[in-house]
Amino acid sequence: MELFTKIDIPALSIRIDYTSRIAFFGSCFADNISAQFAARKFSVLANPFGTVYNPVSIAGQIRAIADGKVFGEKDVFQDARGLQNDSGKQDARGKQDARGPWYSWDAHGSLSGATREECIEKLNNAATRTREFLKQADVVFITLGTAFVYYLKDASATGNGDAHGHAVANCHRQAPALFERRMITVEEAARALENIVQDLTRIKRDWILRSAQDDTNIAARDDDRKFHIVFTVSPLRHMGDGAHNNTLSKATLQLAVNNVINKVTTVPSASSGTLPVSYFPSYEIVMDELRDYRFYADDMVHLSKTAEEYIFERMAETYCSEKTRADIAQVEKLTRMANHRIADPESPATHAFAEKILAQAGELEKKIPGLDLSEEKQKFRGTTLHVRG
C-alpha cells in the first residue's frame, strides 16, 4: 500500500559539485534554498538585487546585467511619503524631503541609500559583481513567486519611455495610486522567461568568446557545455491575493515555464553544444510530498526549516552525484562541529578542539576540489592564536 506520493524528477545531465558556481534569482524561496547550498559551503550568488517575485522584473534585472548597464540618477528616486503636492496627493516626483532614503524601482530596499550617490553605488556594485559571477556560472535557478506585477502608471517617472508602464521589482511602500497591479498573461510571462534565457546565454557566450582567445583559460573551453538554467515555481502561497487568485497566478507561471521549455528545447551556445533549460518541481514537492501543516512555519504560509532542508535533499538527489552527496555529508559534519559554542576560549580543551577543526578542514579542502573552508579556518586560527598568546 502506497501512503506517500513522491514526485518523479526526470534524470538530467546537470551535475553540481564543489567546483560549481550557482546563482539564484527570484522570490524569498530562492533566498531560502540558496542558503541551504551556502550553508554547505557551495559557491553561491543569491538575489544580488534583492528578493523579486515576478518574472518581468527578474527579466529586467538580468537584461540590465547582460547589457552592462551603468545605473545613474534617472534610475533612483527619493522617498516622498508624507509629502503632499497642491492636489493633496503624494507625488514621488514632487518636492523631496532631504532626509528620505533613495530607492530604485528595479531593486529591493536592501539596496537603498541615505543619499542618491550611495544608492547608485550599491546598484552598480551589485551589477558588476553579478556580471562577473554569471560569466562563469554553471547553474542559474530562477524561482518564480507570482504572476501579479505592479506597473508604474507614469512611465516618465522612470525615464525609460515605456508607454505601458514600468514593471517594478519593489513598491518600497510608496502610494498605491502610483501603480497599476495586474496579473500578467501566460504569453507575457513566457516572453519574460524567454528573455531571461536569451540574456543569460548572451552573458555566458560573450565571456566564452573572449576567454577562448586565451589558450591558458582551459575552464572556459568547456564552460558552455556545463551551463544550465533551471526554472522553479515557489511553493509559498500569496494568500493576500486570495486562495483562488493565488492558484491562478501559480498556474500562469507553470504554463509559461512549460511553454518556454517546449519552445527552447535547445539554445545554441558559443560552440556546437547546447544549453539545457529545465524545471525543478519545488511547488509539486510541497503540494504532494509535504502536504501537512507541520512542514510550515507559524504563519502557515512560509515553509519550515525541515521543509527547506527536504527540498535541498531532493535537489541534491537530482543534481549531485553520489560522491558529491558523500562530500556534502562530510562538510555538514565539520560545519556542525565548527558552529559549536565555545564556553572558554582560553582552555586547553578549546585549543585542542580548534587544532582538530583546522586539521580536518585542511584535509577536506585537499580531498574535495573547489571546497573553501577559509571562514571556518580563520575562526579557529584566531582561537589557537589567542590560546597560545
Tens of pLDDT, residue by residue over 172-223, are: 999 999 999 999 999 999 999 999 999 999 999 888 888 776 655 545 445 5
Looking at residue 248, its pLDDT comes to 97
369/241: higher pLDDT: 369
Phi-psi sector, 285: left (phi>0), alpha (psi -120 to 50), beta: alpha
Which has the closest alpha carbon to 268: 220, 197, 207, 187?
197
Whether 26 and 57 have beta carbons less than 8 Å apart is answered as no
Average pLDDT in the 268-283 region?
70
> Alpha-carbon distance 181 to 70, whole Å?
28
Q: What is the DSSP string of 220-287?
A: HHTHHHH-EEEEEE-----GGG-HHHHHHHHHHHHHHHHHHHHH-S-EE-SSS-EE-EEE--HHHIII
Tens of pLDDT, residue by residue over 127-159, are: 999 999 999 999 999 999 999 999 998 765 554
CA distances (Å), origin 345, targets 353, 356, 376, 378: 10, 15, 15, 15
302/317: higher pLDDT: 317
Residue 283 burial class via C-beta count within 10 angstroms: exposed 0-12, middle 13-18, buried 19 and up: buried
Tens of pLDDT, residue by residue over 69-88, are: 999 999 999 987 755 444 44
Look at residue 114 and tell me whether its pLDDT is greater than 70: yes
CA distances (Å), origin 192, targets 69, 134, 244, 285: 18, 19, 24, 25
> Alpha-carbon distance 389 to 366, whole Å?
29
Tens of pLDDT, residue by residue over 211-265, are: 776 655 545 445 545 789 999 999 998 888 899 999 999 999 999 999 999 887 6
> Alpha-carbon distance 230 to 318, whole Å?
12
Look at residue 28 and tell me whether its pLDDT is greater than 90: yes
Looking at residue 3, its pLDDT comes to 57
Average pLDDT in the 57-66 region?
97
